[in-house]
Amino acid sequence: MLSSNEIITLINAIGTGFDDFSLEKLRYGKIIIMTDADVDGSHIRTLLLTFFNNEPFNELIKNGKIYIAQPPLYKIKVGKKISYIKNDEELFDVTIDTAKDNIKFFSEENGKAKEENFSEIVKYCRRFDSRIKNLGKDFDKELVEALTVVGSFYKDKKDFLIRDDSNGKKKEGAIKAAAEYLNRFGNNAENNLWTGSFKENSFILEKKYYEESIIKKLSLDFLDTKHVEELSQLGDMLKIFRKNCHMINSANEKIEIYSPIDFLKRIIEEGKKSISIQRFKGLGEMNPEELWETTLNPENNTLLKVNYSGNDVDNETTNPGDRDREIFKILMGEDVVPRKDFINKNAINVNNLDI
pLDDT tens per residue across span 259-306: 999 999 999 888 888 899 988 877 888 888 888 888 888 887 888 999
CA-based R_g, the chain, Å: 26
Q: What is the 3-state secondary structure (H, E, C) of 140-167?
A: CHHHHHHHHHCCCCCEECCEEHHHCCCC
Return the pLDDT at 355.
57
Query: Tens digit of pLDDT for each residue in 198-251?
Result: 998 899 999 887 778 889 999 888 888 877 877 888 888 888 999 999 999 988
DSSP state, 220? G
5-72+280-320: what fold?
A: Rossmann fold (3.40.50)
DSSP state, 348? G
* Contact indicator for 149, 181 with CB cutoff of 8 Å: yes
Confidence of residue 313 (pLDDT cuts 50, 70, 90): very low
* DSSP β-ladder status, 66-69 and 31-33: parallel
Angle at 184 between CA 178 and CA 187, to 5 degrees: 115
Q: Which of 35, 15, 42 is nearest to 352 (CA)?
A: 42
Confidence of residue 353 (pLDDT cuts 50, 70, 90): low
Tell me how crowded residue 111 is: count the other CB atoms within 10 A of its CB.
6
Instruction: Enumerate the H helices of the chain as residue ranges.
Output: 5-14, 39-53, 58-62, 88-99, 118-133, 141-149, 169-182, 228-237, 260-272, 288-291, 322-332, 336-346
Domain ranges of the chain: 5-72+280-320, 103-276
Please report, as a single letter, which amino acid is at residue 255.
I
- pLDDT higher than 50, residue 138: yes
CA distances from 192 to 195, 217, 256, 259 (A): 9, 18, 20, 19
The C-alpha torsion from 137 through 140 and 146 to 150, rounded to 10°, is: -90
Cα–Cα distance for residue pair 231/225, rounded to 1 Å: 11
For residue 9, report the phi and psi dihedrals to the nearest 5 degrees: -60, -40
Q: Is the pTM of this model over 0.85?
A: no
Residues 6+ apart with CB under 8 A from 29: 65
Q: Which of 305, 324, 311 is nearest to 29 (CA)?
A: 305
Return the pLDDT at 196.
93
Angle at 209 between CA 203 and CA 211, to 5 degrees: 115
* Contact indicator for 198, 172 with CB cutoff of 8 Å: yes
Query: Tens digit of pLDDT for each residue in 59-116?
Result: 999 999 999 998 888 889 988 888 888 888 888 888 888 888 889 999 998 889 999 9
What b-and-e string marks burial along 202-234, b requiring 16 or more CB atoms within 10 Å of the CB?
bbbbebeeeeeeeebebeeebbeeebbebbbeb
Please report, as a single letter, which amino acid is at residue 351.
N
